[in-house]
Structure formats: structure tokens, C-alpha cells
Chains A and B, each alone.
Chain A
Amino acid sequence: MTDNLEQLIKEAVEKALEGDMDAVNNIEDRVTRSKAKAALVKAKREAAKEETEANPDENSNDSSDSKQDKTTNEHIAELLIQQFPGDINKELSSQEHIQIQSKKWLVISTFLRDDPSCLFDSLQCITGVDLGEESDLEVRYNLHSMTHRHAVEIRISCPRNKAKVPSVESIWRIGDWFERETYDMYGIEFEGHRDLKRILLPEDWEGWPLRKDYEVQETYHGIVVQKVKEGWE
């Protein structure tokens, strides 16, 4: 599109937005006229969107949500530090997560579920993470509250060789299967779990697959296990 035409369309659209449709309708070339009409529709829609964005009661956009999330995490972190000093690692926590030492996790999680200002009645996800070779394993919990509609993320790290974390399956019943899966993939033992065994892999599989230093076994019941090619991409 030449600059001339662009300029023509821009002016026509501006005039139309003020209410004068003749500028658009009088463009002689059919192609240019239709382009001007399309640009007008787009401009109108963007104007409408700006208006609705200016009203905060309907659309809480991403920015305000994440602001709330950040304050939620920090807010809950402060609450926890008051209740359980010494168990929250403030230096490693951030605006997005709370880092916790693992020994009192069961008590802390009961508090998180029952305390009236927290009321985290829903455990959304348990993710195991391997922070790198020679480094720790970490378990991350995403909690959500159906009543207060806020969410936090809790991280607990444990050393590679003695990976033990208290189990929360008695508090949130879905912890049962999520923890079995994390155990299956990482080898992290959840103390207090009533029946910790592998869930996705066969019972007699060896090794913890999602660890970064996992070596797949040679054979399984006589079947040769195929190796993942190095540097596969």
C-alpha cells in the first residue's frame, strides 16, 4: 500500500469515528474502500475494549491478578512466619513462591487448610523438580482456595540421597496419587503415606526416570529397553 493510500485511509477512518461516514463511502476505488471499512471496524473494537478496560469491576486483567498473586504469596508468607518462625526460608522465597523447611510441613499444611484467612482447600498440583546434577530435589505444591479465590506456591527441597518429605495425603486426599507419582518419577519418599508405591511404571522398575542423572536399565523381564539417543532433538 502506498503512503498516499495509507494516509487517505487513516484520515477517512478518523473522520468516520467522529461520525462522518461520507469520507469512507466516497473513496472511489473499491479495494481501498473495503480496506478503510475494515480498519474502521478494528478501530471501533479497540475503542470499545479500552472502555471496558477502564471499568475494573468486570475484567480483572492479568496485571491486577498477578499483582494479587504476588501479594498473596508474600501475605501468606508473612502469616506463616508469624505462626511458624524458623520454618520459612525468607531469603529463598520470592514474590511467586514460599520456600519451607520440610520437618513441620504437615502442621503448616493443616494450618493452611484450616486458618480462616487462608482456607486453601484444594491442592492443585504437586511437581517434583530436579534442580541439577549434584544439587537438591525439590517438591512444589500449588494450592488454591475456592472460597477466597487466591493461590500460593510452596516449595520444599530435600537432599538427593535422603529425599524425604512429610506426606499431606491425609489433608488433601488428592495428595495420595500426586505423591505416588512424584515418588515414582523422582524417588522422593513421602513419610506417612499409607501406601506409597509406583503408579505409572510397573512395580519392579528400577530407577527414578525424571531425575537428570537417570540411566535406563538394560533389560526388563528379558525385553531389551531401547536407549534414548544422546542429544535427541
Chain B
Amino acid sequence: MGIVKGDQMVLNIGPQHPSTHGVLRLKVVTDGEIVSDIEPIIGYLHRCFEKHCENSTYEQVIPFTDRCDYIASMNNNFGYVVAMEKLMEIKVPDRVEYIRIIMAELNRIASHLLALGVYGLDVGAFTPFLYMFRDRERILDIFELTCGARLLYNYMWVGGVSHDLPVGFVETVYGFLDYFEPKLKEYNEILTYNKIFIERTADVGVLPPEVAISYGVSGPNLRGSGVKWDLRKDEPYSIYERFDFDVPVGEGTVGTTGDCWDRFYVRMLEMTESAKILRQALKDLPQDGDVHQAIPKKIRPPKGSIYQRTESPRGDLAYYIISDGTPQPYRLKMRSPAFTALSVLNEISRGWMLSDVIAILGSLDIVLGEIDR
């Protein structure tokens, strides 16, 4: 923070606040309405995830990973499970791979719907929030159909998944996709191309690509700045190379490349791409195969370490696991994408007004559970 000059005011956007996406505290030094410095203070949701993992077995870690990024739990599970399978060199059956991809992409759509709806709410548009939540409810119903849980699933296990797909699953998902794809046009009309929304978000909080890479920003935030980098295409894991989809990139359509509107629009386009992947996966889903076939009886990985990156809806989620041959991890570090996204807030909000800080924070799409762990 340093020394506050005479005419500056230190404001506290406190831990309890309607639009900080969790318990986040921002110490803002402003000059009137213009912000000169922001210091995010985190740690209100720290639950000692990494220390817990050192005292639990590898299977018991999976529910913990759910609770880190509670909005995209399937993707958290996915990252951990892919890392463990690489460490133990387990090959899972095809059906399991397809099921995992379907769940991960459905959760990606749900996570983006929440991010975009809440962003509209931050900017003052109350109605798209409720529309997007209504559609997200349908996805959560699909998840409840499969594994019984709406938000925290504990679904992907090392070597397989916990429950096989129920009867009628494929038809339900096809029904959802047919319902959902026309909705994206509706959202574009009421929010994305709304003149007032464009005024609030275009040219605001521009993130240049070099700054983004230096700050470790990834995912839609990085793609909004024009860098075409998607781990599903560039370092494919699981069976992502079998699918045909595009990687949307921000191009500064209504403002500068890398502004809040671009990040918003990239997320909007990614939902279309996920729908594409879902249709392909549903078509190719193998009908037979035992989902519990490759699950080891006791997880005791060989000594060694692994660093595995996967693409979660917020960016580049990575697990660094050190195993010493016992059934409990020796060290498990989760590298969360929202952590790096929040660290760039100071850099891109300088010189903007207080309302813009809220708009920029919303466009970075952070989840405090993932940042604090």
C-alpha cells in the first residue's frame, strides 16, 4: 500500500459484499472515483486443503477437490484423476473416457452460465441472471439424475467413475442441447449486444497478452486477450483429440482486444463449442463397458512426482502430486487458475473508476474456494 497521499481515500470493499464472488476483501485507494491501487486480501475461505490431503488417502482426496472450485466440480475431479492415472499408468476403458468428457463439458456450460449471469447482475441487468440460472438448473438436474448430487459430485474416481449412466441419460442430454442452443441467441440479444452493457464493458480493463502470460493468466481470460491457447487442443489429455471443436479468441469486436467484453464473449462462444463436443461424445458413446473395471483395489502409486495440467472453465488447473509409495499423498499442490487471475486485478484496474473495478472483477470469473483452498 505504501503512503497514502493527502487527497486519496482508502476504501474497503469488505468481505461481505454482494458482488465479490465470495469472501474477498479489496483495499482500494481512490482519488475521488478513480482508483489508484487495489490490494486483494484473501484467505477468508482457507480450509487447509493441502494439509488435509497429506493426512488422507488418495481416494479421500476426491471430495476435497470438489469443494475447491465448487462451481466446476467435475473438472476439478477430472484434473486430479488424470494426474493420478498418469502417475500410476492406468488405462481406463473407453466408455469411462467418454462419460468423463460429457460430464466435464456439461459442467463447463453450467459454470459459464453462472459466470455470465452473475456478471450481468454486477453490471445491473437483473433479468439475464435469472434466465441463465433457469437453464443451469436443467444441467444440475441431469447431474442429479446421474450421481445424486447437484453441486459437489465426487463422481470421477481414479480408474473410473462412481456411477454408470442411468437409463434415458442420452435422451435427456439431447433434449437439453436442443433446448439450450437457441437460448444463446437470446442471451446475445438481451445482454451481449445491449448498448448500455457495451458501454460498461468495452475498452474497460484491457489485459495485454504479455502481461497475461507473465501473470500466469490462462483460460478464457487469456483467450480474451487474443492468445489462442487451450489445453484441450494444445496439450490434449484424456481423449480430447478425438473431438472437433474451435477455440474462440477475443478480437476486440466492440472495443480493444482484451477488454471485459472480449472475456465475456469468449465465454459465451465457448458454450457453443462445448455443446458441439457434447453432441459428438453422445454419438460415439460406447454402449458397453464396465465403469468400475479399472479402479484399483488399493491406490498405492509408485514413488515419484507428477505435474499435470487440465483445462477447467476458469483456466489452467494443475495438480502437483508427490508420492512416496504409501497410500497417502506426501504432498499435493493444486495450482488454481483463479489465483493467478486475481493477482492481475491490480495491474488492469489502475486508472478506472470504482464501478469499473466491479466490472473487471466480474469479468475475471474468480471463485474464492479455488483461490483459498
Contact = CB atoms under 8 A, between A and B. Distances in A.
Would A and B touch once assembled, by the CB under 8 A criterion?
A: yes
A185 to B, nearest CB: 8
Contacts, number: 88
A14 B328 CA distance: 46
A151 to B, nearest CB: 8
B333 A173 contact: no
A104 to B, nearest CB: 22
A27 interface: no
Chain B residues touching A, range? 35 or more
Interface in A174-233: 174, 176-177, 185, 198-202, 209-210, 228, 232-233
Interface string B27-56: 000000000000000110010101100011
A228 B318 contact: no
Contacts of A59: 236, 241
A146 B229 contact: yes
A229 to B, nearest CB: 9
Contacts of A65: 235
B42 A199 contact: yes
Interface stretch (B70-78, B184-192, B335-343): B335-343
A210 B335 contact: no
B320 A200 contact: no
A142 B333 CA distance: 12
Interface residues of A, number: 38
A103 interface: no
A173 B331 CA distance: 25
Interface string B199-222: 000000000000101111000000
Interface string A10-45: 000000000000000000000000000010011001
A199 B43 contact: yes
A111 interface: no
A121 B214 contact: yes
B73 to A, nearest CB: 21
Interface in A129-156: 129-130, 140, 142, 146, 149, 153
B330 to A, nearest CB: 8
A98 B241 CA distance: 31
B372 interface: yes
Nearest to A171: B214
A124 B317 CA distance: 10
A146 B227 contact: yes
A127 interface: yes
15 contacts: A38-B287, A41-B286, A42-B286, A42-B288, A58-B241, A121-B214, A129-B322, A140-B320, A153-B307, A174-B216, A199-B43, A201-B43, A209-B51, A210-B51, A233-B55
Interface of A: 38, 41-42, 45, 58-59, 62, 65, 96, 121-125, 127, 129-130, 140, 142, 146, 149, 153, 172-174, 176-177, 185, 198-202, 209-210, 228, 232-233
